[in-house]
Structure 1
């Protein structure tokens, strides 16, 4: 069994631990999304809360993605989710319960993910 210069554990054990932690984070975020969806149906939380939680889950899924095709599919879902957030923020502005800064933040987030999607698509 090989060891690294910092201790007795082989380097691959750290990579395995990272994967385990990434999976655990994904699972926790998935549970959070499920919980928020139930709360939303009961009118306890806003759809923005649910969409933001979904966005965090998409980010966790991206970290676990093993292939380009997987990343593309996740990014497309994430863009659609962020478009929903952006539209809802716009509705809130029109109703006078939010300000334009919220819309701009939502748009900036959507554009960030669209850029990542285009970069991923450009890689062969």
Structure 2
């Protein structure tokens, strides 16, 4: 079965531990040990999370002697942003219509503020 990249990215982002790892990587490269420090889980569990992120293209892992730094690869997030942008426009338009309707009600009522 073929899975599109956006679905793979969302699946990787679905887990709060993986989102926390990505948030940490926004500050720069980090080792597996540094990434695992805030979590009460085993090394293999963290490695599994890193594998999911790597397969989604959200991180890359280098090799410098014994050090295997992880770095953020934000390109797949562009598709997430574009997907979410459609819904932001939808809500902006709905809020604009609601605002217009509330102003119409205020004018009919002769008040400046809607009743709470």
- By the TM > 0.5 criterion, same fold? no
Structure number having the greater helix percentage? 1
**Structure with the largest fraction of strand:** 2
TM-score w.r.t. the length of structure 1 is 0.27
* Larger RCO (alpha carbons 8 Å, 6+ apart): 2
- Between Structure 1 and Structure 2, whose CA radius of gyration is higher? 2
